[in-house]
Structure 1
Amino acid sequence: MDNLDWIFNGLRPYWIQSMDDSSFPQITLHCAAYYEDSRYETPLDEIKAFKEMACLKITNEITESGGSDLQASIDGPIIPISDGIDNWLGALYYPKYGPDEFAMELIEFDLIFELQLVNKEVIPDPLTTPDTTKPYNLITQGYTYLINTVGTATQYLGTFTFNWDGIGRVYVASDWQADPATDLINIDDQLIVSNADGNSFERSCNAGNHYAPGPDIEVTSLLHEGINELTFTIKDIYGGKIGCGYLFLIQVND
Structure 2
Amino acid sequence: MGVLTNRTREQRQLICRAFQERTQQDLLKSLQAALSGNLERIVIALLQSAAQFDAQELRTALKNSGPAEDVALEILATRSASHLQECLMVYKQNFQVEAEEDIKSETSDILQELLLALAKGVRDRYSGIIDYNLVEQDVQALKQAEAPSTEGTWVLIFTQRNLEHLIRVFDQYQRCTGHELEKTVQNRFHGDAQAALLSLASVIKNTPLYFADKLHQALQDIKPNYQVLMRILISRSETDLLSIRAEFKKKFGKSLYSSLQDAVKGDCRSALLALCRGEDI
Task: State the structure with bigger RCO (CA 8 A, min sep 6), 1 or 2.
Answer: 1
Q: Compare CA radii of gyration and give the structure with the larger one.
A: 2
Question: Do both share a fold (TM > 0.5)?
Answer: no
* TM-score normalized by the length of structure 1: 0.27
TM-score (norm 2): 0.25
Higher fraction of helix: 2
